[in-house]
Amino acid sequence: WFPKIWCHYVELHQEMCKKNPDMDIIAQHCPFFAMSQNFGPEAVSVCHIDTKNLVSGLCLIFVFGLFDFKKGGHLVLHEAELILEAPHGSILIIPSAALTHENIALLMGSGKEERYVFTMYSAGGLF
């Protein structure tokens, strides 16, 4: 999907690991340098751009939980004018430093829905 970007990330990751053998990394074969978790229970992201991430890079978003993805939790990509459904198990790959994005909240007050998000990314200053 993004072989040149992926290769760039892997090369940097290998170089950084050689220079800093004691560096705490996410996983040996994971080219991303950072991760964030939002364990909700109703994870919501407000409208933003990840200005400190690599502008030509990517962010992986893992979505999980028990919620009606037809009624809430959608990913909104403003410049692309897209609203994407993101059901449990979705893995979304977006240029988070280049697109304004957010997600739509779950149904208000249901108390029965849960949505969690795990993201992986790399700071632009590393490159």
Write the CATH number for 98: 3.60.130.30
pLDDT at 124 exceeding the cut of 90: no
Rg of the chain on CA atoms, in Å: 16
For residue 55, the model assigns a pLDDT of 86
For residue 109, the model assigns a pLDDT of 59
pTM assigned to the model: 0.85
> 61 by DSSP, 3-state: which?
strand
Longest alpha-carbon distance in the chain? 50
Look at the chain and report how many structural domains it folds into.
Answer: 1
pLDDT tens digit sequence for 56-101: 889 999 999 999 999 999 999 999 999 999 999 999 999 999 999 9
Q: Are 119 and 49 in contact (CB under 8 A)?
A: no
Q: Are 67 and 88 in contact (CB under 8 A)?
A: yes
Q: Provide the domain limits for residue 31.
A: 3-126
pLDDT tens digit sequence for 4-44: 888 888 888 888 888 888 877 777 778 888 889 998 788 88
